[in-house]
Structure 1
Amino acid sequence: MRVRLILPALLAATALTLVGCGEEKSASSSGAAEKSSPTASGSSAPAGDGTAAVPETLRFTGTTVDGKPFDAATLAGKPTVLWFWAPWCPTCKAQGPETAKVAARFQGQAHVIGVAGLDKPQAMKDFVTDTGVGAFPNLADEAGGVWKKFEITQQSVYVILDKDGKTVFTGSLPAGKGLAGKVSPLVG
């Protein structure tokens, strides 16, 4: 009986130990890990303002690190970058400046949203301040709901959605290099 109780806990602890900062699963020709996501479905509903349909991928809500409510439905109709990061992750810190540049460059044409996890809200706030990524929304996903929705199992991962909410890239981009090149064709 005790083995049945201990084994699942041991497996869970092992899985958490294996989650690495910036670890890549497989490399594409660009050197970044990529996978297609089954969460990108074609179903959509009208947006609250009636301008664009809201795809399933953008049907989630949350709270930003500064305590403001966030509804992803407001992102419908434009390409979106979701950047999954953890405050203690050096790879994530290295991605911050380039992610902020891409957010500024494509402001009004595409959305950039940080999705913080794997730590407490104060550490998330400190990361935003320390890395200068406060010009775009950063969600405090302490419970991991958005991470689960996009099947993210490690930090320092980008998920890029086209204007229809279809996932076109999922992977790590060391220091954020190549992010602008992935967003640029989506806004053109």
Structure 2
Amino acid sequence: MDKEAIRQYKKETYELYKRLHLCTACHQQDAYTLNGRALCFECGEKNNARIKDRYKNNADVRAKEKEYRQQLREKYKENKLCTRCGKPLEFDTTKKSCKRCLAKMRQRASEYRMKKGIMPRVLFDGTERCVICGKQEIVKGYKMCNKHLPIFQKTMLKNRKQINNYFIKANRAFWEAKNATN
């Protein structure tokens, strides 16, 4: 048999076992195909361990993966897709990720802060703490500490000069809505 015939045979047997809801590796156990899986639990665990081991112990594989991910991110960015999941972005967004991915990132960051013993930013609002770092030494009349206030002010001065800035758009929309109700 030549390579093409072997490849075709393997593909056909894979599809057959998948249709029969059997594991495509060991051909014995139920493969949870209702969840979209083709491997049984044991074979799936073995496969995951093998992939993790290959990725962890091989710098070449990690470098190729990193390069591939960067190219994919650039491609997504050019096509106005979420750089994490590849779904279409909203039309007027300046973000590079969709709302769902941003929410997941915020959740992970909050969990990481909790794990490290740092109070999550959600709890900073309405307290006498810096909204950036959570320290209690805030400047009177502001919600930031001496370290973050000048950085924020400098950033806002730069952003005021940009017409398409998110803060300018949001502020304009807020005041237009407020004037419309009066």
Instruction: Answer yes or no: same fold by TM over 0.5.
Output: no
Structure holding more helix per residue: 2
RCO higher in 1 or 2 (8 Å CA, sep ≥ 6)?
Answer: 1
* TM-score bucket of the superposed structures, by smaller chain: under 0.3
Q: TM-score, normalized by length of structure 1?
A: 0.22
Higher strand share: 1
